[in-house]
Amino acid sequence: MERRGWLSRQNQYSHSDRVSLHDIVSDVAEELAPLAMAAGVKLITDIRVQQSLEVMGNEQQLYRLLTNLVTNGIQYTAADGKVNLTLDRYQQEALIAIQDTGIGIAPMQQTRIFDRFYRVNSDRSRITGGFGLGLPIAAAIAQAHQGSIHLQSQPGKGTTFTIRLPLKRR
Ligand SMILES: Nc1ncnc2c1ncn2[C@@H]1O[C@H](COP(=O)(O)OP(=O)(O)OP(=O)(O)O)[C@@H](O)[C@H]1O
Ligand SMILES: [Mg+2]
């Protein structure tokens, strides 16, 4: 990541809170349900852990991180498709997966989509008309929380973004 002026300022001035990932995941699913419905896409939440998962960080930013990825999942999936939002835990990390059955991303583009203003030149992205900022912002937020975003995709089949965030130590 080259520059992240806005984000590093956010981190500088905002203190770190305990943030519940269960709350964020359910809030994001609730907020984006109308968008999914309008697109004819089924948005399914799957919380695979009973205990609460907490990370230290900024709730608004983490909310935005998830919103950006789930919005993409909905926007780049045709009607009758699905977006699965999964919350799980592996050792000392929370895993949040956003899996869609959408248009997918070709291998050549998979590294570039995290660049600012980069958009794959497809019919679908022309329709949605975004700025190409959702993913760079998401990546910067994950990094600011010592986490990462990993992507797996097959053109025509779908895409899975996996966010890993270190859990708050007990
Ligand atoms: N789940 C996905 N499936 C297929 N393509 C995707 C997916 N997520 C992102 N992309 C591709 O990556 C590009 C960059 O995504 P990004 O979220 O950064 O920008 P955007 O969605 O085009 O605009 P913005 O998020 O700023 O409104 C998209 O234009 C699209 O081509
Ligand atoms: Mg986007």
For 140, half-sphere exposure in the C-beta direction (CA atoms, 13 angstrom radius) is 20
Higher pLDDT, 140 or 1: 140
Distance 67 CA to ligand 2 centre (A): 9
Burial label for 163, CB within 10 Å (0-12, 13-18, 19+), is buried
Q: Which ligand has the nearest atom to the CA of 125?
A: 1
Report the C-alpha gap between 61 and 71 in whole angstroms. Answer: 15
Mutate to test the pocket of ligand 1, among 125, 141, 150, 159 (most ligand atoms within 8 A of CB): 125
Tell how strand 42-47 and strand 82-90 pair up: parallel
β-pair partners for 44: 84
Instruction: Tell me the domain boundaries of the chain.
Output: 5-96+132-166
Strand (E) or helix (H) holding 47: strand 42-47
* Separation CA 42–CA 137 (nearest Å): 25
- The average pLDDT across 147-155 equals 97
* Ligand 1 atom at shortest distance from the alpha carbon of 103: 4
The pLDDT mean for the chain works out to: 91
Q: Could you identify the residue written with the tokens 């050549």? A: 108
CATH superfamily of 5-96+132-166: Histidine kinase-like ATPase, C-terminal domain (3.30.565.10)
Q: In this predicted model, what pLDDT tens digit does every residue of 38-56 receive, in sequence order?
A: 999 999 999 999 989 999 9
Ligand positioned closest to the Cα atom of 127: 1
Task: Give the pLDDT confidence of 82-124 residue by residue, as tens digits.
Answer: 999 999 999 999 999 999 999 999 999 999 999 998 888 766 6
What is the pTM (predicted TM-score) of this model?
A: 0.92
Pocket of ligand 1 (CB under 6 A): 68, 72-73, 76, 100, 102-105, 113, 118-120, 125, 130-135, 159
Distance 128 CA to ligand 2 centre (A): 9
